[in-house]
Amino acid sequence: MAKKTIMLVCSAGMSTSLLVTSMQKSATVNDIDADIFAVSASEANHYLENKKIDVLLLGPQVRFMKADFEKRLGPMGIPSDIINMADYGMMNGEKVLQQALNLIENK
């Protein structure tokens, strides 16, 4: 399987760093080649313009931005969704990684 690039977006880029670590551990355990990183909402456009992204997941605190991201990402063929609040709160990297991979597979 080709390397997957998963971008998480939150309000400041900080709160998702623990989730990124958990997702990376799950990817390693499951032998999934993935580049997983978190950015603040204000940095998202820069990364979308300069890096090939396979999927974008929004933290629950920026769920209100979903429609805006869908408009921008649709023409690029990049799927997006909101991270489940319970999975986010529990820092369940395995479930969030699976959510990202499912979005990539079903695009």
Residue 94 has pLDDT above 80, yes or no: yes
Told to judge if 54 belongs to the known catalytic residues of this protein, a careful annotator would answer: no
CA–CA gap between residue 79 and residue 63 (Å, rounded): 15
Which CATH number is 4-105 given?
Answer: 3.40.50.2300
What single string gives the DSSP state of each residue in 74-101?
Answer: GGGT--EEEPPHHHHHTT-HHHHHHHHH
Q: Which residues of 82-95 are buried (b: 16+ CB within 10 A; e: fewer)?
A: bbeeebbeebbbeb
Residue ranges of domains in the chain = 4-105
pLDDT band at 71 (very low <50, low <70, confident <90, very high): very high
Over residues 3-60, the pLDDT tens digits come to 999 999 998 866 788 999 999 999 999 999 999 999 999 999 999 999 999 999 999 9
Q: Which of 6, 7, 9, 10 is catalytic?
A: 10
| Structure confidence at residue 13 (pLDDT) | 63
Instruction: Read off the amino acid at residue 45.
Output: N
